[in-house]
Structure 1
Amino acid sequence: MTNIGPGPGRARQTRVYVRGLGGERPRVPVAPQALERGARTKLSAPDFAYLAGGAGSERTMGANLAAFERVRLVPRVLSGTRERDLSVDLLGLRLPTPLLLAPIGVLECAHPQADLAVARAAAAQGVPFVFSSQASVPMEACVRAMGDSPRLFQLYWGTDDEVTRSFVRRAEACGARAIVLTLDTTLLGWRPRDLDLGHLPFLHGRGLAQYLSDPVFRSRLSETLPTPAVQPPRTPALIRAGVELAAKGRAFGLSVGQMRAAAARFTATYTRPDLGWDDVSRLREWTGLPILLKGILHPDDAREAVRRGVDGLIVSNHGGRQIDGEVAALDALPGVVAAAGDLPVLFDSGIRTGSDVAKALALGARAVLLGRPYAYGLALAGEAGVREVIQNVLAEFDLTLGLLGVRAARDLGPGHLVPH
């Protein structure tokens, strides 16, 4: 008889229990709520607020989680296998699992190694990482840490087209498998947690690594920008911010004055509320890389994306960080999948567990993006914490497939759900 392995779920489960015999606990909590609480205790109030907060009264964040509560899985018995096939096909690749790590800006809020630790963890686990435009480490440094592991680049399209084009060229040179154009943040949402603390990390020079390392953006730092209408008072907090800007500038070979100019230019140019469908067509002219549109929630937008010749969609409401009272991303997923036809649809916003992954795939997603949980793991244990979060989500996903009687991730479908 062929010796078949236990699969990642049972292997991970057994390893945790065996280590527990010696009194060893996991580096990061397994339960999603405990994971978030652990990060809260580890981080400063402003840093945690930026990572965990949402728009307005955070009803959209709540709706994202509640949508998963409403979807119920239905197992079939006497149809399982000893080992499941978690692989999926995406962008011409056979990925070992349907999990990607979502782009999260300002990861230095969670840990000093920021994106670099996440890149290493993603590569070690065979999970693609979507680099953020608002990263804390330049994409080139992350690539050096990832080897041949797949990566994508998330693009925010600001008002300076030449900077945007430079980002695209750099992503191509870094071997990105796709450009992920983010459409749900053409304006910064109203985020009370950050506002109540008076804290925007970009003004401290944080989350600007892609810009500070970009030759086109750096060439703009000598240009004069309008003086802000509101001048901050000179306080100890402002002095500390200046010290932080100076430290950040040294890392990128910039003076304090240049760093202040960089923060001012970024905040003046990084959003573009008048972004339109013709810009998507322009992006297609700029690059031969596959283009994924992130932030699609309406079926009509999915149909227009198909007409524009994009390569995939990501159903997302930016984790509830943009519009208070917005539709839950999971509720929007089936309509977008139906409208997209053969176009692959990915899912983002609300994934917390392996069973969440199974539900999203059963509703038609080809793959999912994991966000806040890995940032919390990063906060608690750096690279090792990210790896453990990935392992836990995939272990539960594998066990969920086995208990559902599903042989492969690709086989999940509406028949594994309670009909609405």
Structure 2
Amino acid sequence: MLRALYDAARKTLDPVHYDYVAGGAGEERVVAGNEGAFDRYALLPRVLCGSEVRDTAVDLPGARRAAPVVVAPTAFHRLLHPGGERATARAAAAEGAVLVTGTAATTAVADVVAAAREAAADPAVWFQLYLHPRREVTEALVRRAERAGCTALVVTVDSPVFGRHTRDLRNGFTDLPPGYAAENMRGLPGAPPDGLTDIPMSPSLSWRDLGELLHMTSLPVLVKGVLHPADATVAVEHGAAGVIVSNHGGRQSDAVPAAVDCLPAVARAVAGRVPVLLDGGIRRGSDVAVALALGAAAVGVGRPAVWGLAAEGEAGVRAVLRTLCDEYDHTLALCGGRRNTDLARDMVVRKGETW
């Protein structure tokens, strides 16, 4: 199912837009490494301890959902399908998944949440943002997310500068075509009336800026882009409500480990104080099970959801989410699990190895 949607998306999309989504930083070793890393892991099932019906529900900041799969933030959905972020929002809400809509969305956050509410009475929409060097800009974005009805914020911390995207540079894709914009950056403090503010990337930002964000909102704040366990510890100590292990889908540095390989150490550092999530490389339900066994409470999927959107719009995103959740439930049953927490660290080995 997912492969068919990917193939359909590739045939449908403008090659430049396809390269934008599929590509990554440098030689794209990390893009490939995120997926390939899961091929190194195998699950050791337990037997005679399962249940006819599994409980895959998960409690996340600002949301209790029926399965541990979140739609990760990705940019520019209207480039991929006319329905854009609205279609993605309706699909996620209909399937009971958290949607993380981003600063770089081509639909304003209020309209994304409104679309989600068309499909479900209690959707969970989180807002991803980059900390802006000017505090008033960050605060304006936070207030927009709050007014829209977002239930949590996700601050991306692995982007002090833009990644060098080889395909985009080759294609000359440096700006959106006329008629498209990062709508959440419209009309912010310091911008001309109804004008656009650049999405910020600044190496001068620090933990102090995160602390200021935590003090300007009552929404739970998750920190996304953590690979080093020491940073996970600092994030929790500052008051983060969750930590997301991520290497930005291989779009920032091409010299970092696969996200899933960093997960166990981060989970040990967090020690259950807040939920740990993982994104990067999830392509099948068994990948979800491996991530949960290694310490994640839930996983985020970015490119698979976007391929579904490009191929079939809202129905394609729903198909991706339903497939992953069904495969995960099936894998949980095969592992002898009744609930997510039955997937333990000793049930994962490197292929070709045992204890």
Indicate the TM-score class for this superposition, using the shorter chain for normalisation: over 0.9
Name which one, 1 or 2, has greater alpha-carbon Rg: 1
Using the alignment, how far apart are the partners of 1:128 and 1:168 within structure 2? Answer: 18
Q: CA deviation at 1:405?
A: 1.2
- Which amino acid counterpart does residue 170 of structure 1 have in structure 2? R
Using the alignment, how far apart are the partners of 1:173 and 1:366 within structure 2? Answer: 28
> Is the partner of 1:295 in helix, strand or coil?
strand
Identity of aligned residues (%): 44
Q: Does 1:272 align with 2:244?
A: no
Alignment correspondent of 1:38: 8
Using the alignment, how far apart are the partners of 1:154 and 1:360 within structure 2? Answer: 22
> Is the partner of 1:216 in helix, strand or coil?
coil
Matches within 5 A, 1:141-220: 141-147=111-117, 148-202=122-176, 204=178, 206-212=180-186, 215-217=187-189, 220=191
Using the alignment, how far apart are the partners of 1:188 and 1:380 within structure 2? Answer: 28
Q: CA deviation at 1:116?
A: 0.3
Contact 1:295 1:318 in 2 (8 A): yes
- Which amino acid counterpart does residue 390 of structure 1 have in structure 2? L
> Is the partner of 2:51 in helix, strand or coil?
coil
Alignment correspondent of 1:14: none
Alignment correspondent of 2:66: 96
Tell me the number of residue pairs that the alignment of Structure 1 and Structure 2 aligns.
346
> Is the partner of 1:81 in helix, strand or coil?
coil
- Which amino acid counterpart does residue 167 of structure 1 have in structure 2? L
More helix by share: 1
Where structure 2 has 5 or more consecutive residues not aligned to the other structure, the ranges are: none
Q: CA deviation at 1:186?
A: 2.5
Contact 2:99 2:125 in 1 (8 A): yes
Alignment correspondent of 1:318: 248
Per the normalisation by structure 2, the TM-score is 0.93
Q: CA deviation at 1:145?
A: 1.6
Counterpart selection for 1:370 from 264, 289, 301: 301
Alignment correspondent of 1:385: 316
Using the alignment, how far apart are the partners of 1:207 and 1:96 within structure 2? Answer: 33
Using the alignment, how far apart are the partners of 1:65 and 1:201 within structure 2? Answer: 28
Per the normalisation by structure 1, the TM-score is 0.79
Using the alignment, how far apart are the partners of 1:70 and 1:31 within structure 2? Answer: 21
> Is the partner of 1:323 in helix, strand or coil?
coil
Using the alignment, how far apart are the partners of 2:2 and 2:235 within structure 1? Answer: 37
- Which amino acid counterpart does residue 188 of structure 1 have in structure 2? F
Matches within 5 A, 1:13-412: 30-32=1-3, 34-91=4-61, 93-147=63-117, 148-202=122-176, 204=178, 206-212=180-186, 215-217=187-189, 220-221=191-192, 262=196, 265-266=197-198, 270-341=200-271, 342-412=273-343
Using the alignment, how far apart are the partners of 1:337 and 1:361 within structure 2? Answer: 10
Q: CA deviation at 1:83?
A: 1.6
Runs of 4+ in 1 over 6 A off after TM superposition: none
- Which amino acid counterpart does residue 110 of structure 1 have in structure 2? L
Using the alignment, how far apart are the partners of 2:61 and 2:2 within structure 1? Answer: 32
Using the alignment, how far apart are the partners of 2:161 and 2:9 within structure 1? Answer: 27
Using the alignment, how far apart are the partners of 1:304 and 1:159 within structure 2? Answer: 21
Using the alignment, how far apart are the partners of 1:31 and 1:344 within structure 2? Answer: 27
